[in-house]
Chains A and B, each alone.
Chain A
Amino acid sequence: MKISGSHTLQFPPEKAYTLMQDPDVLARAIPGCESLEKTGEDEYRMKMKMALASFSGAFEGKVRITDQTPPQSFRLLVEGTGKIGFMRGNGLLKLAASGAGTEVSYEGDALVGGTMAAVGQRLIDGTARMLIKRFFEKLGEEKAASG
């Protein structure tokens, strides 16, 4: 499944880039994230809770950041498994100055399996969009809090 879109942040790319590399900020901004623990250089172990339609479940997974070109782009690799299935994602995030703010565009592939795929397929795309939107909104709040 392809996922792509864009979101505008009200602060410059440098700030946005820094925030998005900060595990503490990410832990707070990623919807459902329960913990994000550094396991190596640009590698994290993440626990998150996700709800999809009538069922929800805990996921455990790995997050890796590669191809960093601050403050323009980086690649995010996510892998998670839980009782309701598994997911794997790979996306490139691009940051571009847009007036005083930043236009973040993302493009990637996501693969889901297990119960989640069999039952929730119709909803995955919409849910993913909603989660991404929430993430960026949270990121905006983090910026406001951190100044």
Chain B
Amino acid sequence: MATTIAKPELLVGKRLRRREDPRLITGTATYVDDIKMPGMLYAVIVRSPHAAASIKSMDVSKAAQHPGVAAVFTGKDTEKVGPVPCGSSLPGLRVPHHYILAPERVYFVGHPVAVVVATDRYVAKDAADLIEIDWDVRGAVADPEKAIADGAPPVHPQWPDNKAFTHHQEGGDVDKAFAEADVIVKQRITSQRLIPTAMETRGVVAEWRAADRQLNLYSSTQIPHLMRSLVAQMLGLEENRLRVVTPEVGGGFGSKLNVYAEEALMGFVAMKLGKPVKWIESRRENFLCTIHGRGHVDYYEVAAKKDGTITGIKLLIIQDLGAYHQLLTPAIPTLSVLMMPGLYKTANIRADIIGAFTNCVPTDAYRGAGRPEATHGIERMVDILAAELKMDPVEIRLKNFIQKEDFPFPTATGLTYDTGDYSLPLKKALGMVGYEKLRAEQAEKRKKGELMGIGISTYGEICAFGPSPATPAGGWESATVKIDPSGKVTVMTGCSPHGQGEETTFAQIAADELGIDIDDILVLHGDTAIVQYGIGTFGSRATAVGGTALYFALQDLKAKIKKFGAFLLESDDATLAGGVVTCNKTGASKTLQEIAGATYRAMKLPANTEPGLIATHFWEPTNFTFPFGAHIVVSDIDRETGGITIRRYIAVDDCGNILNPLIVDGQVHGGVAQGLGQALWEEAVYDESGQLVTGEMTDYVLPRAHMMPWIESDHTTTPTPVNPLGVKGVGEAGTIGCSPAMVNSVVDALSPLGVRHIDMPMTPEKIWRLVQGASSQEPVARMGERL
């Protein structure tokens, strides 16, 4: 088949449909659970029903003798497997040893203590029920503020204060700013625990080929290469003997940016038994045992002048870490500190973090990872300050924005914002929503006692993670481009996607650079035996860092194509365009296909040139990128039911250059859904004894299609100079911009009733109580308590 050449128009910037979607929507994609191997065994994990307990005795004999059971392993068997890794390092960080199976003590409900391996998943489950464990139940603590208070039961006995770390950061002269302030506003703001709930739960298949000394691990992960490095260490296996394959990944949102006990555990089981083994996480396990997000209690103080100029910010974060550090657990709140000034020109900041151990599943990165918390905090505080000074929330924002000419802007928290024009998206959003008219309507409604709110958030975020010195495991990304002798192109990216559409966007980049048809390009990822190495997909980095690595690999290849083409044409003045090298003097030309064939046939080679057409580039960014935007929510509140109706949702995002507007829209929509989820519905609730009482979807309210507003999405474009594509990243923007806009809208609606702040989720019951004049901070009664 001939390679199509001379493509008429550029694809970057086009609203191209995702090439990966047909297989996804026709049910023909391959997920971990679709992998079947001869002789495969199935594993079920036995987990603690207690939040804090010791194992007095465990009897697995009945389970081991159950027909169909191949083996039962407990914490005693796996004690020598390395601990589940914590990839963050903070000074003085206390890192508990995180066994893959707890040999003696358990620290949260769901803590794995044994694994049953059988011929069938259901047999394994039946056998698991036969394991008898005698528990010595201990006192547990599930609330981070209670955990660090005197007299709380210690999560880990060696650290009775339950503090994993404290972190202090200061910029400017905060004391002076507060001493000279005209007004100081204070507020406690929580960002509740959330359950990431990827549509596909986690899953692992492990296959040990003893004769080849090769372990193949299939895992639903965002980071196949980091997983290979870390799991190899845990198992004491040479890294080159472990292959991690990531087939289709049905969502991650950060919850699969991790290495869990189960990957090494399945590797251990496969190596012990010499048979392939599969473990698929159940939804209940997913709720109990996969990381949660957020879990902040924040204490804010903002100092300002009478005219609304913000002069200083103080922030104390109490981070609910859970019982252990997963890969990035302690690092997440430090990202909140970095983003605490938001888009505002404040030189004076002070931040303290107390990382609190609790008897809960660990928290870690969840869409936005630290930045939604920070944005929610500062955007709430700016509104609270505006209310205090009787200023319009638009006016106070415009007054404090870092100005266009201030970039690159060094923040008080040590970042350098790349580019921005923060008033652009705000003004565009105000125009779209018809701000003046809405305020007039609101004034009329208030006279009649009707509750209508207009909420604004102007968010900034850190994307394109990131320069290597600022990340735990390297912040570069890699790409290989291979052109076959037939001229067909294969792109291999280290950014293994889980829904980002890189098979489309990366092909768009390659098609434009090489001037060939997109159908001639295959994008491969998620297999450590195929892809050179990679960091992974998280922190809105895939396009900005991985796409840039691809861009540079393509430049190398283009130079070689041109050199080879000119050589074949015997020309010293040739141009590469549209997949063809043309001699500018004779007009003679060679197609990419002809050139590719000649580079491999290698009958004649240009001087100092190797055969073949393959280029690999590892790209190290010099900075993060800093997208921004404005979201506006217009809401109406029903006084009788406390129900919130979103009348308008405006999202104007500036993520730099846009490669594919359809994919950007998708990211914004998904992000907003998760932002609204936090603002209105979702909350992981542990009771006092550490039981997760929102253990399934009837109790944990995820947004569904009919609950979503129509999102009016638009963009402004401020490219970044950090990468040649000018892209900033948009994977998390929707979530970050959304929750403060939603809460600001409802607080604005209820402000005539004296409401100044509402903690999320803003359930109808909470709103109804506020309307009825009840205390805003009362815990929400569960249904049962009203029976």
Identify the stretch in B335-343, B568-576, B684-692, B701-709 within 8 Å (CB) of chain A at 4 or more residues. Answer: B684-692
Task: Give a binary string over A57-96; 1 marks a CB under 8 Å from any B CB, 0 the rest.
Answer: 0000000000000000000000000010110000000000
Q: Is B441 an interface residue (CB 8 A)?
A: no
Q: Is B695 an interface residue (CB 8 A)?
A: yes
What would be 24 A-B contacts, judged by CB atoms less than 8 Å apart? A1-B687, A112-B691, A113-B49, A113-B691, A114-B109, A117-B687, A117-B693, A117-B695, A118-B109, A118-B695, A119-B696, A121-B687, A121-B694, A121-B695, A121-B699, A121-B782, A121-B784, A122-B699, A125-B782, A125-B785, A125-B787, A126-B784, A126-B787, A129-B787
B195, chain A: closest CB distance, angstroms: 11
Binding site for B on A (CB under 8 A): 1, 83, 85-86, 111-115, 117-119, 121-126, 129
Q: Is B284 an interface residue (CB 8 A)?
A: yes
Q: When the two chains form their complex, are residues A123 and B109 in contact, meaning their CB atoms are under 8 A apart? A: no
Closest Cβ neighbor of A83 among chain B residues: B129
User: Contacts A83-B129, A113-B50, A129-B787 known; A121 to B693 CB distance under 8 Å?
Assistant: yes
User: Contacts A113-B109, A126-B787 known; A86 to B696 CB distance under 8 Å?
Assistant: no
Q: When the two chains form their complex, are residues B693 and A118 in contact, meaning their CB atoms are under 8 A apart? A: yes
Q: Is B783 an interface residue (CB 8 A)?
A: yes
What residues on B are CB-neighbors of A113 within 8 Å?
Answer: 49-51, 109, 689, 691
A9, chain B: closest CB distance, angstroms: 23
In the A-B complex, the 10 residue pairs with the closest CB atoms: A118-B695, A125-B784, A114-B49, A117-B691, A121-B693, A126-B787, A113-B691, A113-B49, A122-B783, A119-B696
User: Contacts A83-B129, A113-B50, A113-B689 known; A119 to B695 CB distance under 8 Å?
Assistant: yes
Q: When the two chains form their complex, are residues A118 and B288 in contact, meaning their CB atoms are under 8 A apart? A: yes
What residues on A are CB-neighbors of B552 within 8 Å?
Answer: none
Within the assembled complex, what's the spacing in Å between the Cα atoms of A111 and B688? Answer: 10
Q: Interface size on B (CB < 8 Å)?
A: 23
What residues on B are CB-neighbors of A86 within 8 Å?
Answer: 49
A31, chain B: closest CB distance, angstroms: 18
Q: Please provide the chain B residues from 272 to 290 with a CB less than 8 Å away from any CB of chain A in the complex.
A: 284, 287-288
What residues on B are CB-neighbors of A117 within 8 Å?
Answer: 687, 691-693, 695
User: Contacts A83-B129, A112-B691 known; A122 to B784 CB distance under 8 Å?
Assistant: yes
What residues on A are CB-neighbors of B695 within 8 Å?
Answer: 115, 117-119, 121
What residues on B are CB-neighbors of A124 within 8 Å?
Answer: 784
What residues on A are CB-neighbors of B51 within 8 Å?
Answer: 113
What residues on A are CB-neighbors of B782 within 8 Å?
Answer: 121-122, 125
Given A83-B129, A122-B698, A124-B784, 6 additional A-B pairs, CB 8 A = A1-B784, A85-B49, A115-B49, A117-B692, A118-B109, A118-B691
Binding site for A on B (CB under 8 A): 49-51, 109, 129, 284, 287-288, 687, 689, 691-696, 698-699, 782-785, 787
Contact of B284 among A1, A83, A119, A125 (CB under 8 A): A119
B699, chain A: closest CB distance, angstroms: 6
Within the assembled complex, what's the spacing in Å between the Cα atoms of A1 and B648? Answer: 41
Closest Cβ neighbor of A118 among chain B residues: B695
Within the assembled complex, what's the spacing in Å between the Cα atoms of A1 and B781? Answer: 12
B621, chain A: closest CB distance, angstroms: 42
Contact of B692 among A118, A122, A126 (CB under 8 A): A118
Closest Cβ neighbor of A124 among chain B residues: B784
What residues on A are CB-neighbors of B49 within 8 Å?
Answer: 85-86, 113-115
Within the assembled complex, what's the spacing in Å between the Cα atoms of A63 and B694? Answer: 29
Within the assembled complex, what's the spacing in Å between the Cα atoms of A121 and B699? Answer: 9
A83, chain B: closest CB distance, angstroms: 5
User: Contacts A83-B129, A85-B49, A122-B784 known; A115 to B699 CB distance under 8 Å?
Assistant: no
B776, chain A: closest CB distance, angstroms: 24
What residues on B are CB-neighbors of A122 within 8 Å?
Answer: 698-699, 782-784
Q: When the two chains form their complex, are residues B784 and A123 in contact, meaning their CB atoms are under 8 A apart? A: yes
Within the assembled complex, what's the spacing in Å between the Cα atoms of A125 and B783? Answer: 9
A78, chain B: closest CB distance, angstroms: 15
A6, chain B: closest CB distance, angstroms: 15
Within the assembled complex, what's the spacing in Å between the Cα atoms of A117 and B785? Answer: 15
Within the assembled complex, what's the spacing in Å between the Cα atoms of A91 and B109? Answer: 26
User: Contacts A122-B782, A123-B784 known; A115 to B691 CB distance under 8 Å?
Assistant: no
Within the assembled complex, what's the spacing in Å between the Cα atoms of A125 and B694? Answer: 15
Closest Cβ neighbor of A81 among chain B residues: B49
A55, chain B: closest CB distance, angstroms: 11
What residues on B are CB-neighbors of A115 within 8 Å?
Answer: 49, 284, 695
Within the assembled complex, what's the spacing in Å between the Cα atoms of A81 and B737? Answer: 46
Within the assembled complex, what's the spacing in Å between the Cα atoms of A111 and B693? Answer: 12
What residues on B are CB-neighbors of A111 within 8 Å?
Answer: 689
Within the assembled complex, what's the spacing in Å between the Cα atoms of A18 and B108? Answer: 43
A124, chain B: closest CB distance, angstroms: 6
What residues on B are CB-neighbors of A1 within 8 Å?
Answer: 687, 784
Most chain B C-beta atoms within 10 Å of own C-beta, residue among A1, A117, A126:
A117
Closest Cβ neighbor of B783 among chain A residues: A122
Within the assembled complex, what's the spacing in Å between the Cα atoms of A24 and B109? Answer: 37
What residues on B are CB-neighbors of A125 within 8 Å?
Answer: 782, 784-785, 787
Q: When the two chains form their complex, are residues A118 and B687 in contact, meaning their CB atoms are under 8 A apart? A: no
Closest Cβ neighbor of B784 among chain A residues: A125
User: Contacts A113-B689, A113-B691, A125-B787 known; A118 to B129 CB distance under 8 Å?
Assistant: no
Closest Cβ neighbor of B688 among chain A residues: A111
What residues on A are CB-neighbors of B687 within 8 Å?
Answer: 1, 117, 121
Within the assembled complex, what's the spacing in Å between the Cα atoms of A93 and B377? Answer: 49
Closest Cβ neighbor of B685 among chain A residues: A121
A115, chain B: closest CB distance, angstroms: 7
Closest Cβ neighbor of A57 among chain B residues: B129
What residues on A are CB-neighbors of B784 within 8 Å?
Answer: 1, 121-126
Within the assembled complex, what's the spacing in Å between the Cα atoms of A119 and B782? Answer: 14
What residues on B are CB-neighbors of A118 within 8 Å?
Answer: 109, 284, 287-288, 691-696
What residues on B are CB-neighbors of A129 within 8 Å?
Answer: 787
B751, chain A: closest CB distance, angstroms: 33
What residues on B are CB-neighbors of A114 within 8 Å?
Answer: 49, 109, 691
What residues on B are CB-neighbors of A121 within 8 Å?
Answer: 687, 691, 693-695, 699, 782, 784
Within the assembled complex, what's the spacing in Å between the Cα atoms of A114 and B288? Answer: 10
Within the assembled complex, what's the spacing in Å between the Cα atoms of A117 and B784? Answer: 13
Within the assembled complex, what's the spacing in Å between the Cα atoms of A122 and B685? Answer: 12
What residues on B are CB-neighbors of A83 within 8 Å?
Answer: 129
Within the assembled complex, what's the spacing in Å between the Cα atoms of A86 and B109? Answer: 12
A36, chain B: closest CB distance, angstroms: 22
Within the assembled complex, what's the spacing in Å between the Cα atoms of A86 and B689? Answer: 12
A68, chain B: closest CB distance, angstroms: 27
What residues on A are CB-neighbors of B284 within 8 Å?
Answer: 115, 118-119
B349, chain A: closest CB distance, angstroms: 40
Within the assembled complex, what's the spacing in Å between the Cα atoms of A117 and B109? Answer: 11
Within the assembled complex, what's the spacing in Å between the Cα atoms of A117 and B742? Answer: 31
Most chain A C-beta atoms within 10 Å of own C-beta, residue among B129, B691, B694, B782:
B691
B429, chain A: closest CB distance, angstroms: 39
B281, chain A: closest CB distance, angstroms: 15
Within the assembled complex, what's the spacing in Å between the Cα atoms of A132 and B692? Answer: 25
What residues on B are CB-neighbors of A85 within 8 Å?
Answer: 49
A141, chain B: closest CB distance, angstroms: 25
Within the assembled complex, what's the spacing in Å between the Cα atoms of A124 and B782? Answer: 11
Within the assembled complex, what's the spacing in Å between the Cα atoms of A121 and B694? Answer: 8
What residues on A are CB-neighbors of B696 within 8 Å?
Answer: 118-119
What residues on A are CB-neighbors of B50 within 8 Å?
Answer: 113
